[in-house]
Amino acid sequence: MPPLQKSEALQLLQGGQAFFPALITAFDAATSWIQLETYIFDFYGAGEEVAEALVRAARRGVAVQVLVDAIGTDPLPAAWQKKFADAGVEWFSYSPLTGLLGWLVPERWRRLHRKLCVVDQRTVFCGGINVLDDFYDPNHGELQAPRFDFAVAVTGGPVAADAAEAVALLWWRVQAGYSARKRHLSDAWDKFKAAGYGGRTDTRLLANPAVSAAASFSGAAVPRAALVLRDNLRNRSSIERAYRKAIGQARQEVIIANAYFLPGGKLRRALIRAARRGVRVTLLLQGRYEYFMQYHAARPVYGALLAAGVEIHEYAASFLHAKVAVVDGHWATVGSSNLDPLSLLLAREANVVVEDKAFAQDLRGRLLEAMASQGQRMDPAAYGQRPLGQRLQGWAAYALVRLALLVAGQRY
């Protein structure tokens, strides 16, 4: 994990109702560059408002680049294709599949799942929130309550530099790959070099002092943060290692809220060891059925955790989409990574790790409030007596996950 370094300011944003206004305000104040990555970009409700803000920025000369996952995001509607093209908004899809046969290639299971946005290479938004209205789900329609999710806005410092570079490099790599597939080899080579190869990088990264050097800070109260990326090259297990290190050093309390929870053996053992040495370990997990695999495959791993004294609370007021944690009231993480094999082994993910008591206590309070008012604690005895049908569904889903990992050549 990169070292924690000082940032000018951190802001915790809960749900789209806080996140989207902050994002749009940043877009409307942007002067040079907006870089946005998201798994889902949906144009309903709040998503349309975000899209309109991107158009406004592009029309006044801001460079606007949007990279979406080709599986998470539907093809760009014709009306928005024209609107973006007329305004100058650049839009690319990450790793499109060609027909159903594309799913048979395990390499194509590696998706762009991170939610990162950098504005003027100075303000970074990172979290679990897609560009998707809080009260709408593409598969389930209108929601009675908003999704439970978080993002963090980081202003200034090395986190901004790291995020701007990461987003810019992936943007140019995707463009280079697109040109190569179209056999525009000269263009592909130029974009390949622009992605940081052959001794060249994007000149806009070098020209902005916010990226090339960190601001100077003073005072013990200044928060420290780091951007932790997961990819399939140098950062294969960075996010999981950050979790395991924090859990291993915990002395009093570990609180984790995670949407799709199916940790591997190392992470499960870290949680169990923490609980057995007297740390209060509390999990807030998805209690509302969303997808068969994610919902049922998690159930078989609960037994060992409950037996060790881990508290499990299920959230069912709406869909829980958060991927956050607080340890001992001073360490926290907010990001896109679930604690499951898709996130920890295959997808591109991004988390921000924070060392700051005020920030951590704010997040901790929100998680405890959600558990108290909208969560239900799982009873170990009731878990042990769950019906046979539920057990079979759990083991079937778990077996399918293990089979998929075997096909993908992954150990978990």
In sequence order, what DSSP letters do the residues of 323-363 get, joined into one string? Answer: EEEEETTTEEEEES--BSHIIIIISBEEEEEEE-HHHHHHH
* Residues composing the chain: 412
CB 235 within 8 A of CB 309: no
User: Kind and range of the H or E element at 230?
Assistant: strand 224-230
Question: E strands, 15-110, where?
Answer: 33-38, 63-69, 90-94
The sign of the torsion formed by the CA atoms of 3, 9, 120, 35 equals positive
Q: What is the Cα–Cα distance from 216 to 14, expressed in whole angstroms?
A: 29
Q: What is the Cα–Cα distance from 9 to 25, expressed in whole angstroms?
A: 16
Question: E strands, 236-306, where?
Answer: 253-258, 280-286
Q: What is the Cα–Cα distance from 22 to 27, expressed in whole angstroms?
A: 9
Catalytic (active-site) positions: 113, 115, 120, 321, 323, 328
